[in-house]
Chain A
């Protein structure tokens, strides 16, 4: 979606490797979110940030860390990837009560 840019689009990691998923928005909005999508489980919230400098845990935060670098950027870090973290990850913002999503990152941990 225009306005929310997520990188990379695809990534394969070995168990134990680390990586950071980047999300940037040019819509100047406060709330940013990281979700993961797994078959049969919809979108589950990992972490969210209501405003610059604040972050809160969502439903499934274990194994992840986040950083709200500034109003524009919200990154998700896997310190030591595990196969259970194989998923599709979406960054999103809330704008006028409506969520706008990035294109997703398909992550495979082998």
Chain B
């Protein structure tokens, strides 16, 4: 069983704060690292799929970096808004036809 860890488990910030989460994974057999945003009562939705060491991706106020050699990825949210409140999941893919192993998620709550 692959060990994909996320920290912190939960986070509570105020509107306007910037924040970041960590995803750690075994660096062997790496194929891709995914980030998903998951709102309560909805299905997870993809934010980023990252494959190359040193990759940096950005979507609006959200960005992510990847270090495959040391086995971690960071997700950053700049100027958090209440609508950013969700659980953020990372997932490791070890091959084109392989399973996707998820971390336990970081639950973010942004208040006014």
The reply to whether chain A is a binding partner of chain B is yes
Specify which of A44, A45, A99 is in contact with B34 (CB 8 Å cutoff): A99
Specify which of A31, A35, A50, A98 is in contact with B102 (CB 8 Å cutoff): A35
A53 in contact (CB, < 8 A): no
What number of A residues sit within 8 Å (CB to CB) of B?
A: 28
Specify which of A45, A97, A101 is in contact with B49 (CB 8 Å cutoff): A97
Say whether A98 contacts B99, CB under 8 Å: no
> How far in angstroms is the closest Cβ of chain A from B61?
21
Specify which of A56, A99, A102, A103 is in contact with B100 (CB 8 Å cutoff): A99
Specify which of B1, B43, B91 is in contact with A90 (CB 8 Å cutoff): B43
Q: A102-B43, A103-B43, A104-B43 are in contact. Are A94 and B102 (CB under 8 A)?
A: no
Interface string of A42-57 (1 = CB under 8 A from B): 1111001011000010
Specify which of A30, A31, A59, A100 is in contact with B1 (CB 8 Å cutoff): A59
Q: Most B CB atoms within 10 A — which of A40, A59, A97?
A: A97
> How far in angstroms is the closest Cβ of chain B from A89?
12
- Interfacial residues, chain A to chain B (CB-CB below 8 A): 1, 30-31, 33, 35, 40-45, 48, 50-51, 56, 58-59, 90, 92, 94, 97-104
> Can you list 27 A-B contacts (CB < 8 A)?
A30-B97, A31-B97, A33-B100, A40-B9, A41-B104, A42-B103, A42-B104, A43-B44, A45-B99, A45-B101, A50-B97, A50-B98, A51-B97, A58-B99, A90-B43, A90-B44, A92-B100, A94-B93, A97-B32, A98-B34, A98-B46, A99-B34, A99-B36, A99-B44, A99-B91, A100-B46, A102-B43
* Additional pairs, 18, CB under 8 Å, beyond known A43-B89, A45-B102, A97-B93: A1-B43, A35-B102, A40-B104, A41-B104, A42-B105, A43-B44, A43-B91, A45-B100, A45-B101, A56-B99, A58-B99, A59-B101, A90-B43, A97-B32, A97-B49, A99-B44, A99-B100, A101-B43
